[in-house]
Chain A
């Protein structure tokens, strides 16, 4: 029998004792203990192999074989310029470069009263007590534990009750591995007070061989609403293994969108606990996967309270030998009556070598619920292509129209005003030589 774990000897793990004094929150004794505890757990559990059910379709051996070291502070001007071009230049923004906040590129002033937006390193100086509960290193799998041991700068967003954050905020993560493979462990925390509202845009970019292992914990108090849009456009040699964990209290609303185009191996785990009645967790996304790429979307939605709604709509486009994975799990507890859970994954295969693995998983213990799931895989419709070409539209444009239309159905899940940043997602991807 093959082992359930992959042991890896990452140089950065060996450097823990030297590193920890430079990581955020170093003076906090409880955090140092937590980091050590998390590291012990990672050493014990190691990386999951494909023998572990949740990792059946995603192989971490290539990750385990890479000698990831400690990131330097050097980030190229080219990357910094790309970061500067993202989103509204006047918007509040936090730029994290190689695990450290870039103060020059960040703009954290002018936020409304009741809003705290800080890099983790700073937040642990000013809001340590508020963060303690969100930084439990015992929470999560081995990768979350590894993040817990090495957690670096990420964003901390705290909203007081009743506050609406305007305008939308931009968070940019940059990775530059020019000096050799490095591992990054951004840690993000969002805590929204009762009735608070915010929109967070998150972008991930980089160059070289690196591993980004971000963990984001989001806590939504009753009646609060978060729109959370993520663009994962990591470099082509990158590993991106991200987790977002959302807890929703009564009447809270989460709307996420994931645009996944980057990385050699990418996995986004999106988990949610609907802890209070009548809360809604919605996540939509598009994953565009080209030659040599592997992209995995794994969701885990737990309806613990009744009257809640969850909605997952994903569109995958797979070109060349691209490999996509969609694992969608929904659990409805016995008391979570009147739950309405919907899940859909559609994959468009543009090449014979492209592959998609889709695994919906429903566990329903309540008897008065509405749960649906669907998964499809297919190629472009020849009769649609012919119809477009018979009107004078060239083959490349016809394909572009059809692929965009396919992905657009996922974008329609989010507010119209929020779609602009994803408008050219498909066009840019096709222009880069895909499809």
Chain B
């Protein structure tokens, strides 16, 4: 079976500086991968490169998504093809109502898939169902996107978008950062609810604590722009005990 994501020897620059220095990673349908690593290891760069952010330049290697080269695709096409990035810092967009934003996104993706766009009533019905699962009020989705939201609300809003857009590959960039334990559980429930045999997930995190609630199939350690170790969930526990220092040193040796 074709993997959902296949990254080979990926090199990438951010503002002219090489941050990814040869990443190899294969993610199959139904799998949950966690990429862990110290600050500055290149974790967020990997997520932005996959989502196609400007000023993140691929200089070598390949990214194959569903059997196709990803690097030449416009960022909105990547999203329509099923890649979803849950942002570490969801962006506030004053003046754009949450429902307008999400309906525009939802219908753009439906249209791309050759499906019928939803009208306002159908859309509201659907979003209400998803809201309920994540404890998001009507008032919150009507407000301008992320404006005035707490850290936890922003992350829940990302989960709502993910639930609505039903991605094939979900990239969760430090989704646990800035959350108290209750918010963390809600967000973890949101992630777990979306685990699906046809869907792949890439969870990027600094800390092990999210992995208590969302159990990965594979754990990778990213250090200095490379994956230096891969293992199962026990690797995360080892990191929690020993810190990143040993592994980074091992890799350098």
A residues near B (Cβ < 8 Å) are: 381-384, 386-395, 397-398, 401-402, 404-406, 408-409
Nearest 10 pairs of A and B residues by beta carbon: A405-B95, A391-B105, A392-B79, A387-B91, A392-B108, A389-B76, A392-B80, A392-B109, A389-B75, A405-B96
B91 near A392 with CB under 8 A, answer no
A409 near B104 with CB under 8 A, answer no
B187 at the interface (CB under 8 A from A): no
**Given A397-B108, A401-B100, A402-B93, A387-B75 contact (CB < 8 Å):** no
Docked complex Cα distance between A22 and B105 (Å)? 60
Inter-chain pairs besides A393-B104, A409-B94, 19 sampled, C-beta below 8 Å: A382-B54, A386-B51, A386-B53, A386-B54, A387-B87, A387-B91, A387-B93, A388-B101, A389-B74, A389-B79, A390-B76, A390-B87, A391-B79, A391-B165, A392-B76, A393-B76, A395-B74, A402-B95, A405-B144
Name A394's closest neighbour in chain B (CB-CB). Answer: B76
**Given A389-B76, A391-B101, A397-B104, A405-B94 contact (CB < 8 Å):** yes
- Tell me how far the C-beta of A394 lies from the nearest C-beta in chain B, rounded to whole angstroms: 5
B112 at the interface (CB under 8 A from A): yes
A392 near B51 with CB under 8 A, answer no
B161 at the interface (CB under 8 A from A): yes
Docked complex Cα distance between A392 and B53 (Å)? 13
Docked complex Cα distance between A386 and B94 (Å)? 15
B151 at the interface (CB under 8 A from A): no
Task: Classify the interface of chain A: helix, strand, loop or mixed.
Answer: helix
**Given A384-B93, A392-B80, A401-B101 contact (CB < 8 Å):** yes
B30 at the interface (CB under 8 A from A): no
A393 near B108 with CB under 8 A, answer yes
Residues of B within 8 A of A395 (CB): 74, 76
- Tell me how far the C-beta of B145 lies from the nearest C-beta in chain A, rounded to whole angstroms: 8
B104 near A404 with CB under 8 A, answer no
B93 near A392 with CB under 8 A, answer no
CB contact list, B109-153 vs A, under 8 A: 109, 112, 144-145
Residues of B within 8 A of A394 (CB): 74, 76, 108
A-B contact pairs, 18 of them (CB 8 A): A381-B91, A382-B54, A386-B91, A387-B91, A388-B93, A389-B52, A390-B52, A390-B87, A391-B102, A391-B105, A391-B165, A392-B109, A395-B76, A401-B100, A405-B93, A405-B95, A408-B95, A409-B95
Name B105's closest neighbour in chain A (CB-CB). Answer: A391
B95 near A392 with CB under 8 A, answer no
Q: Which of A383, A390, A392, A398 has the most CB of B within 10 A?
A: A392
B22 at the interface (CB under 8 A from A): no
B75 near A386 with CB under 8 A, answer yes
Residues of B within 8 A of A402 (CB): 93, 95-96
Residues of B within 8 A of A387 (CB): 87, 90-91, 93, 145
B169 at the interface (CB under 8 A from A): no
Docked complex Cα distance between A390 and B82 (Å)? 10
A383 near B91 with CB under 8 A, answer yes
- Tell me how far the C-beta of A74 lies from the nearest C-beta in chain B, rounded to whole angstroms: 44
B204 at the interface (CB under 8 A from A): no
CB contact list, B157-177 vs A, under 8 A: 161, 165
Residues of B within 8 A of A397 (CB): 104, 108
Q: Which of B85, B102, B144 is the one whose CB lies under 8 Å from A390?
A: B85
Residues of A within 8 A of B112 (CB): 392
- Tell me how far the C-beta of A412 lies from the nearest C-beta in chain B, rounded to whole angstroms: 9
Q: Which of B85, B93, B145 has the most CB of A within 10 A?
A: B93
Docked complex Cα distance between A405 and B98 (Å)? 12
Name B75's closest neighbour in chain A (CB-CB). Answer: A389
Docked complex Cα distance between A402 and B54 (Å)? 18
- Tell me how far the C-beta of B66 lies from the nearest C-beta in chain A, rounded to whole angstroms: 16
Q: Which of A393, A394, A406 has the most CB of B within 10 A?
A: A393
**Given A387-B87, A389-B79, A404-B95 contact (CB < 8 Å):** yes
Residues of A within 8 A of B102 (CB): 391
- Tell me how far the C-beta of A390 lies from the nearest C-beta in chain B, rounded to whole angstroms: 5
Docked complex Cα distance between A326 and B79 (Å)? 40
Docked complex Cα distance between A405 and B75 (Å)? 22
Residues of A within 8 A of B91 (CB): 381, 383-384, 386-387
Residues of B within 8 A of A405 (CB): 93-96, 144
- Tell me how far the C-beta of B198 lies from the nearest C-beta in chain A, rounded to whole angstroms: 19
- Tell me how far the C-beta of A423 lies from the nearest C-beta in chain B, rounded to whole angstroms: 13
Docked complex Cα distance between A35 and B90 (Å)? 63
Residues of B within 8 A of A406 (CB): 95
Q: Which of B54, B75, B85, B165 has the most CB of A within 10 A?
A: B75
Name B144's closest neighbour in chain A (CB-CB). Answer: A405
Docked complex Cα distance between A387 and B85 (Å)? 9
Q: Which of B79, B80, B100 has the most CB of A within 10 A?
A: B79
Name A382's closest neighbour in chain B (CB-CB). Answer: B54
- Tell me how far the C-beta of A348 lies from the nearest C-beta in chain B, rounded to whole angstroms: 11
- Tell me how far the C-beta of A416 lies from the nearest C-beta in chain B, rounded to whole angstroms: 14
Docked complex Cα distance between A278 and B109 (Å)? 53
- Tell me how far the C-beta of A403 lies from the nearest C-beta in chain B, rounded to whole angstroms: 10
Docked complex Cα distance between A392 and B168 (Å)? 13
Name B48's closest neighbour in chain A (CB-CB). Answer: A386
B105 near A393 with CB under 8 A, answer yes
Residues of A within 8 A of B76 (CB): 389-390, 392-395, 398
Name B107's closest neighbour in chain A (CB-CB). Answer: A392
B90 near A392 with CB under 8 A, answer no
Docked complex Cα distance between A398 and B100 (Å)? 12
